[in-house]
Structure 1
Amino acid sequence: MTIYLHEGDLPRDVFAPGPIAVDSETMGLHPHRDRLCLLQLADGNGDEHLVRFTKGQYDAPVLTAVLADPSRVKLFHYARFDLAVIKRYLGIDATPVFCTKIASKLVRTYTDRHGLKDVLRETVGVDISKAQQSSDWGAAELTDAQKEYAASDVRYLHRAHAVLAERLAREGRTEMARACFDFLPTRADLDLAGWDETDIFAHM
């Protein structure tokens, strides 16, 4: 297992075919205010690739080609936020999508704990640290702890995806999940357009 840090873009041909796990690190939780600092990706074969962005520099043709590839499913945890950030800074829809947070909410209805740490602990038996979640991702140099934290957020998503997909099928909720995943790019567009705190389906 190796963590690779790249500046500005991915090298070509670093991933095997198949789904790609993706996560983002930003300066905060508001895409228009808080810039994208890092994207981390993994193909499930043991290595993680971190792509760091200099402020204002988001021309990453290899990375965007991978993220926009319609033949690759992108695995996220809380895809709504990551899709909005990717759309805001890279200008693409990173689809098709499987969101482990939504899948968890559809099949782990016996709990209200759907954070990545809790989902991974139950589905794949690993305990990840979230100690670096609130740290300065725009710093000139990332610490080893930050790099390990970022990598761990995508390291186990393929395994979690396999467990959650099986449970969705078992409970007859695969198509419902797929409909939710397909809506996520539109949900991200609504967030970016200013409807982030509004439930457009609510009766008022």
Structure 2
Amino acid sequence: MTEYQVIDTSAGLDAAIERLRVGVGPVAVDVERASGFRYSQRAYLIQVYRRGSGVFLFDPPPIGDFRALQDAIGEVEWVFHAASQDLPSLHELGLYPATLFDTELAARLLGHQRVGLGAIVEEELGITLEKAHSADDWSTRPLPQSWLEYAALDVLHLIDLQEKLVAELEEQGKTRFAREEFDAVRDKAPKPLREDPWRRLSGLHTVRGRRNLAVARALWEAREAYAQEQDVAPGRLIPDRAIVAAVRAEPATKQALASLKEFTGRASRTQLDRWWSAIEAGRATSELPPDRVASDTLPPPRAWADRNPAADLRYKAARPVLEEHARELTMPNENLLTPDFLRRVSWDHPGDDVASISAALRALGAREWQIEQTAPLISAAFIAGPPAEPTATATAAAE
């Protein structure tokens, strides 16, 4: 077994950079975080591999400044598996690829049934990877050697895998599709902050009344502040279900809150004063949240026949056409076109012509290859309408 060392000094980073500079070809990159353990989504390990250079495991917190690494490899193609998961953590450190290749996304476009790294490496390269540490706490120090080996293997085979997938994309005529998808992942803007993030509390739908919603909001905000202060995942302090249970129980005193068996979590009793103060603040506030907030989310398609019959007919006409085209292209429906985009153009109806539908899809964020593949089909389906339901007579004759 290879003995891997973690690089945690500026001097170590500089030495690794010199070796990376003399390597050849793209660099494979992966990130390990401590999701579910820490509040932040910061990188706790960055793995980099380049042919002719080797594997390097960088410890971001003690190194801090990665500008030299960006200068060394920033213009080289970076190969990821599920790049969208790793890029935000890399961006926090000032690391941005000029171009990237995503092996997971390529596998999806190619129609592979299983696209996890272990599955695709085994299918394409015949190598079995152990995936035993993906959910571990990567903020642990020192990192066990078995974890380091796992982390190294996440990048060690990515370049070989990329070469296989590049050839398959070319064979299937999907090289341009993939390049546009990769560029979209690279350029995707961060998600805007939710206006009322506390409304994502699991089980909040069972809370009734604006005053109780104010208490739930106050408890969520108190937990969030303490989690950020301690750099601990909020759910490890008190889980969502404990917050909702406390709100619904409406305890009259701090002691009643403490005796509530559903109020669980490692900080449920040690920070009891904090939670009780939040409950009191929620009960005292004059700024009561509305029961519901306005949303531009579309109703579920099953409700369209009653709420927007014309949109329902358009959607029922276009969806099976796109599903059939996805099968012809051997790729998932959602990769041919984001399902919500079809729902949007069906509901909003920019027009039946290709140009209007293309413009609407482009405004929603569809890539040019997706527009080329789908807009003419959607236009034709909108004009033709859904296939007629078989009549009872036709069904009996067929039987």
Q: Give TM-score, length-normalised by structure 1.
A: 0.84
CA-based RMSD: 2.7
Q: Could you say which structure has the higher helix fraction?
A: 2
Instruction: Please say which structure displays the higher CA radius of gyration.
Output: 2
Show the counterpart of 1:190: 190
2:84 to 80, 84, 94: 80
Show the counterpart of 1:146: 147
Q: Give TM-score, length-normalised by structure 2.
A: 0.45
Cα distance change, pair 180–30 in 1 and its aligned pair in 2 (3 A)? farther
Show the counterpart of 2:69: 63
Of all paired residues, the percent bearing the same amino acid is 26
1:27-176 matches, cutoff 5 A: 27-28=34-35, 33-45=40-52, 47-54=54-61, 58-67=64-73, 69-70=74-75, 72-87=76-91, 89-107=92-110, 109-111=111-113, 113-176=114-177
The offset of 1:47, in angstroms, is 2.5
Structure 2 residue identity aligned to 1:42: Y
In 1, distance between residues paired with 2:115 and 2:147? 22
In 2, distance between residues paired with 1:86 and 1:64? 10
The offset of 1:33, in angstroms, is 2.5
The offset of 1:63, in angstroms, is 2.0
| Kept in 2: contact 1:123–1:160 (CA 8 A) | yes
| Kept in 2: contact 1:2–1:46 (CA 8 A) | no
The offset of 1:95, in angstroms, is 2.5
Structure 2 residue identity aligned to 1:183: A
| Kept in 2: contact 1:74–1:96 (CA 8 A) | yes
Tell me the alpha carbon deviations over residues 68-105 of structure 1, each in whole angstroms, 9 at most, x when there is no partner: x22x1100000111112111x21342231000001100
In 2, distance between residues paired with 1:54 and 1:30? 16
In 2, distance between residues paired with 1:104 and 1:74? 17
List 4+ stretches of structure 1 deviating above 4 A: 29-32, 198-201
Give the length in aligned residue pairs: 194
In 2, distance between residues paired with 1:62 and 1:54? 16
The offset of 1:66, in angstroms, is 3.3
| Kept in 1: contact 2:41–2:89 (CA 8 A) | no
| Kept in 2: contact 1:38–1:50 (CA 8 A) | yes
| Kept in 2: contact 1:101–1:114 (CA 8 A) | yes
Q: Could you say which structure has the higher strand fraction?
A: 1
| Kept in 2: contact 1:21–1:154 (CA 8 A) | yes
In 1, distance between residues paired with 2:46 and 2:112? 32
In 2, distance between residues paired with 1:82 and 1:31? 16
**Unaligned ranges ≥5, structure 1:** none
Q: Secondary structure at the match of 1:169?
A: helix
In 2, distance between residues paired with 1:29 and 1:92? 24
Q: Secondary structure at the match of 1:123?
A: helix
Query: Which structure is richer in relative contact order (CA contacts within 8 A, separation 6 or more)?
Result: 1
| Kept in 2: contact 1:73–1:97 (CA 8 A) | yes
Cα distance change, pair 110–161 in 1 and its aligned pair in 2 (3 A)? closer
Cα distance change, pair 180–29 in 1 and its aligned pair in 2 (3 A)? farther
Q: Secondary structure at the match of 1:34?
A: coil
**Which shifted more, 145-154 or 28-37?**
28-37
Cα distance change, pair 85–63 in 1 and its aligned pair in 2 (3 A)? same
In 1, distance between residues paired with 2:47 and 2:77? 15
| Kept in 2: contact 1:38–1:53 (CA 8 A) | yes
The offset of 1:130, in angstroms, is 0.8
In 1, distance between residues paired with 2:170 and 2:42? 37
Cα distance change, pair 32–98 in 1 and its aligned pair in 2 (3 A)? farther
Tell me the alpha carbon deviations over residues 174-195 of structure 1, each in whole angstroms, 9 at most, x when there is no partner: 01100111111222x234x348
